Amino acid sequence: MNPAPIKHKFITPGVIILIVIALNGLVFLGLRFIYGLGAVTNLDNYTPWGLWIGVDVAAGVALAAGGFTSAALGHVIHREHYKAIVRPALLTAMLGYTFVAFAVFVDIGRFYYIWHPLIMWNGNSALFEVGICVMIYVSVLYIEFLPIVTERFIGKVKFPNLFKFINKPVDRLLRFLDKSLSKTMFIFIIAGVVLSTLHQSSLGTLMVIAGHKMHPLWQTPILPLLFLLSAVAVGFPMIIFESLLASFSFKMKPEIKILSGLGKMAAPLIGVYLAAKIGDLFIRESFKYIVIFDVPSWMFITEIAIMTRAFFMFLSKKTVNSPSRLFIASSLVIAGVLLNRINNFIIAYNPFNNPAMYYPSIGEISVTFGCIALLVIAYRAIVMIFPVISHEQT
């Protein structure tokens, strides 16, 4: 049972819907680049960061955590039988981070200066660290993905007539890459894990500097730890989620043995995260803000409730062995972490004197959904071209 390209019809009604959503997003994206951020978003001087940073970037990075958790599991501590999920997770991470980088490109006012952090450094800035780490990590992810490309194309490079002459050099290049990468891959794998740990936590540090502007339910000096723990916690559920989704979509048998193994590991990880979060709540005595029952307190309650529910679901054997229950539990974790990122970046951020609470505009939502749709389409296309998903050959 080795990874191989999936043979399936590419265009299905679902894909058409996705394409429509993506096109809709692209329209608003175009407007953003012609008329500026104000034309498309609800951002203002009170709320400089909205949906694009909260969901596309922060939640995107968190949900792409499957990449480094699975790499740690499969490569660093050599759980060989989990290797089947390493490639799909890697692909998700690669696409996820590409999507994150793209979202950053869209969100920053001077997108054409996106390369500036490479040469203009500010070591005090958490954002600088996130930026640099994400830049390097994206490159690492692409390098990690290269063997899949070489595997697919070595000996099969066939450019049509005009470009025939480059077939040989490309093939030689691929072979060279394959050879050198197979020896050095461990460097990149470990680097990937280290970089992820760093920027997953620094993403939390980002909001620490906002100080009093962050709601006390979320504002804590251990935000980086909470971000890291939640990213680690969401890693395996995310892999379970997408694996099951791919199975449903391509009508394959889910790899339940591997998935239930991952499911078992999810519970303690979620537990650690919840323990840290609730412990922090009591140490800072911020629990008093929960009983106010305003919007932030309800959001916090929902966030905790979802994660707790998921935690108990993953604890039970019944869940771990049933694909549908696993799917629900994983979705809950993903929803919980997604909500946590939205809460941290959007709900909790409320500057003094803010006259109106921020809510995302249609443009912002369209672009976000458009990007997600594109991501799914790209995933679908890549797994059909490259040997990513392991499945029973039929």
Partner 1 sequence: MKNLNRRNFLKTAAAAGLAISALDSKTVKGADKTLSEDRIGMLIDTANCVGCRHCEWACRVAHNLPTNDLDTYSNTEVFKEYRRPDSHSLTVINEFENEKNPLLPIHVKTQCMHCERPACVSACIVGAFTKHPDGTVTWDTDKCIGCRYCMVACQFQIPTFDYDKAIDPQIRKCDLCFDRRKSGKVPACVDICPNEAIIYGKRSDLLKIAKDRIKRKPDVYIKHIYGEYEVGGTSVLYIAGKNFTELKMPPLGTNPAPGISESIQHGVFAYFVPPVTLYALLGLIMWITKRGKVDELKENNDIQEDEKGENS
Question: Binding to partner 1 (CB under 8 A): which residues in 88-107?
Answer: 104, 107
Q: Taking CB under 8 A as the rule, does residue 185 contact partner 1?
A: no
List, in order, residues 6 or more apart from 164 with CB less than 8 Å away.
Answer: none
Q: Taking CB under 8 A as the rule, does residue 54 contact partner 1?
A: no
Q: Taking CB under 8 A as the rule, does residue 392 contact partner 1?
A: no
Q: Which of residues 42 and 308 has its CB atom nearest to partner 1 in the complex?
A: 42
Token pair 């759980």 in the structure block, residue: 79
Q: Which of positions 195-214 make contact with partner 1 (CB under 8 A)?
A: 197-198, 201-202, 205-213
Q: Taking CB under 8 A as the rule, does residue 35 contact partner 1?
A: yes
Q: Taking CB under 8 A as the rule, does residue 294 contact partner 1?
A: no
Q: How many residues interact with partner 1 (rule CB under 8 A)? A: 83
Nearest distance in Å: CB 243, partner 1: 15
Q: Taking CB under 8 A as the rule, does residue 258 contact partner 1?
A: yes
Q: Which of residues 174 and 233 has its CB atom nearest to partner 1 in the complex?
A: 233
Out of 79, 83, 152, 309, which residue is the one contacting partner 1 (CB under 8 A)? 79
Amino acid (1-letter code) at residue 70: S
Q: Taking CB under 8 A as the rule, does residue 279 contact partner 1?
A: no
The one segment of 158-166, 186-194, 237-245, 367-375 that binds partner 1 by CB under 8 A: 186-194
CA distances from 115 to 77, 99, 143, 147, 212 (A): 35, 17, 20, 27, 31
Amino acid (1-letter code) at residue 370: G
**Whole-angstrom distance, CA of residue 118 vs CA of residue 203:** 18
Q: Which of residues 33 and 298 has its CB atom nearest to partner 1 in the complex?
A: 33
Q: Taking CB under 8 A as the rule, does residue 160 contact partner 1?
A: no
Token pair 């969100």 in the structure block, residue: 107
Q: Taking CB under 8 A as the rule, does residue 65 contact partner 1?
A: no
**Whole-angstrom distance, CA of residue 57 vs CA of residue 369:** 13
- Please give the DSSP secondary-structure letter assigned to residue 120: S
Out of 20, 23, 39, 173, which residue is the one contacting partner 1 (CB under 8 A)? 39
Q: Taking CB under 8 A as the rule, does residue 332 contact partner 1?
A: no
Assess contact for 218 and 207: CB atoms under 8 A.
yes
Token pair 């969901």 in the structure block, residue: 55
Assess contact for 94 and 148: CB atoms under 8 A.
no
Instruction: At 8, give phi and psi (nearest 5°).
Output: -160, 160
Out of 21, 32, 235, 374, which residue is the one contacting partner 1 (CB under 8 A)? 32
Token pair 């203002």 in the structure block, residue: 44
Q: Taking CB under 8 A as the rule, does residue 1 contact partner 1?
A: no
Out of 26, 154, 194, 384, which residue is the one contacting partner 1 (CB under 8 A)? 194
Q: Taking CB under 8 A as the rule, does residue 353 contact partner 1?
A: yes
Instruction: Give the three-state DSSP class for 154.
Output: coil
Assess contact for 70 and 47: CB atoms under 8 A.
no
